């Protein structure tokens, strides 16, 4: 373990505590402020409990683990006996490995991993687009056309399947798309094909499984956004000459942009980070980047390398999302709304 991590972590922890104390002191003077009001309403004991547990949560669950990961990613992979020894110094070799491969290799770049990385991002984009295309009509129907009875029915139908756990769902898809699966049987029964199609190798199962897994995360932000659109605006657009499809492009989608953005962001991020579905549904030749990360942590036993890979994935995903949001002129504040 490096000797830098502990001081940094304790510094941040101390900072949070000092911040809390400052707020507390201030609140004793300015009781009219929001914080003073909060204190008076809940009492000192309950408020300090609430604040400490919140700060504790942020510190122990979010900041500390990520700091460890960052620390790991810049470390050498050393056996426990050497940790803290003279060889335990910071290095960028893990990141270099992702880019250039092992020092002894012939290729200039680590094409194997970089390709998987790019393919993962691309596949996540495709999954996001599939989900958007599937969910937009449903969300629109639920938000603007359905009666309240139908709406409740649909919400239930959408929610119930998600009680089935992820692994089970993935295997069910595998059976569905397998060479002796339902789809092949139906297609062959109808005489459309005479040989079973290998849906799994073609990654059809993977895309279907991933799209299905994150359906709800797309539908609900979309529904929320479209629901707040005044129906008379849709009618106004029609009245001014829009055919139905144009109403969507000109009026509904621009209005629902924040919802579309937050749905897409969530689906994209989670698809990039998915592990179970690619493991179970991915074709034999296709590897998801998370699977490589998993291998480094697990069978590879190289945590620093795994941490570096995971961080690269995280940072690139964030940058990608920011760039796309910039392109479509959506601000971050709008998404959180």
Partner 1 sequence: MSANVELENLNIRFGDFHAVKDVNLNIRDGEFFSFLGPSGCGKTTILRAVSGFNDPTEGAIYIGGENMLGSGPNERPTALVFQSLALFPLMSVADNISFGLKVRGVGKVQRRKKADELLEMIALSDQGDKLPSELSGGQRQRVAIARALAVEPKVLLLDEPLSALDLKLREHMRTELRRIQQRVGITFIYITHDQGEALTMSDRIAVMSHGVMQQVGSAQDIYDNPATSFVASFVGENNPINGTVIAAEEGYVSLKTDFGELRGRNERGLQPGDRATLFIRPQNLCLSERGDFDNCIQTTVNDQEFEGEFEHLYLAGDSRNLVVSLINDGAIPQFSNGSPISVGFHSDRAVVLPAGEMAYE
In the complex, least distance from residue 211 CB atom to partner 1, rounded to whole angstroms = 29
**Whose Cβ is closer to partner 1: residue 210's or residue 251's?**
251
Lookup: tokens for 273:
């980070």
In the complex, least distance from residue 254 CB atom to partner 1, rounded to whole angstroms = 6
Q: b vs e for 196-229, b when ≥16 Cβ sit within 10 Å of the residue's Cβ?
A: ebebbeebbbbbbbbbbbbbbbbbbbbbbbbeeb
**Whose Cβ is closer to partner 1: residue 163's or residue 245's?**
245
In the complex, least distance from residue 224 CB atom to partner 1, rounded to whole angstroms = 17
- How far is residue 326's CA from residue 129's CA, in Å, rounded to a whole number? 18
**Whose Cβ is closer to partner 1: residue 43's or residue 254's?**
254
In the complex, least distance from residue 233 CB atom to partner 1, rounded to whole angstroms = 5
In the complex, least distance from residue 243 CB atom to partner 1, rounded to whole angstroms = 6
**Whose Cβ is closer to partner 1: residue 115's or residue 246's?**
246
- How far is residue 213's CA from residue 189's CA, in Å, rounded to a whole number? 29
**Whose Cβ is closer to partner 1: residue 45's or residue 244's?**
244
Residue ranges binding partner 1 (CB under 8 A) = 230, 232-233, 235-243, 246, 250-251, 254-255
Lookup: tokens for 104:
């002894």
**Whose Cβ is closer to partner 1: residue 215's or residue 237's?**
237
In the complex, least distance from residue 218 CB atom to partner 1, rounded to whole angstroms = 22
- How far is residue 103's CA from residue 149's CA, in Å, rounded to a whole number? 64
- How far is residue 309's CA from residue 295's CA, in Å, rounded to a whole number? 11
Which are the contacts of 34, defined by CB distance < 8 A and separation ≥ 6?
none
The residue written with tokens 């940072």 in the block is 315
């Amino acid at each position: 373990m490096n000797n830098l991590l502990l001081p940094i972590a304790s510094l941040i922890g101390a900072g949070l505590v000092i911040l809390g104390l400052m707020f507390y002191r201030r609140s004793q003077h300015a009781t009219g402020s929001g914080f003073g009001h909060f204190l008076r309403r809940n009492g000192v004991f309950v408020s300090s409990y609430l604040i400490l547990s919140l700060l504790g949560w942020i510190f122990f669950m979010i900041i500390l683990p990520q700091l460890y990961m960052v620390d790991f990613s810049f470390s050498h992979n050393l056996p426990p006996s050497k940790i803290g020894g003279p060889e335990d110094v910071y290095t960028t070799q893990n990141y270099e490995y992702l880019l250039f491969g092992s020092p002894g290799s012939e290729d200039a770049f680590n094409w194997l991993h970089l390709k998987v990385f790019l393919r993962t991002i691309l596949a996540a984009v495709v999954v996001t687009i599939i989900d958007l295309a599937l969910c937009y009509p449903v969300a629109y129907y639920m938000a603007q056309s359905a009666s309240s009875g139908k709406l409740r029915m649909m919400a239930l139908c959408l929610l119930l399947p998600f009680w089935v756990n992820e692994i089970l769902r993935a295997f069910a898809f595998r059976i569905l798309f397998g060479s002796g699966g339902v789809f092949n049987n139906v297609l062959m029964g109808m005489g459309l094909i005479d040989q079973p199609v290998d849906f799994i190798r073609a990654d059809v199962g993977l895309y279907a499984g991933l799209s299905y897994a994150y359906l709800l995360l797309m539908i609900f932000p979309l529904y929320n956004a479209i629901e707040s659109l005044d129906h008379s605006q849709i009618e106004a657009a029609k009245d001014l000459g829009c055919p139905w499809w144009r109403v969507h492009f000109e009026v509904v989608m621009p209005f629902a942009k924040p919802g579309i953005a937050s749905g897409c962001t969530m689906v994209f991020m989670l698809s990039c980070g998915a592990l179970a579905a690619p493991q179970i549904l991915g074709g034999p030749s296709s590897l998801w980047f998370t699977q490589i990360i998993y291998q480094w942590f697990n069978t590879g036993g190289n945590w620093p390398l795994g941490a570096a890979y995971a961080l690269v994935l995280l940072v690139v995903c964030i940058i990608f999302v920011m760039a796309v949001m910039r392109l479509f002129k959506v601000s971050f504040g709008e998404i959180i709304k």
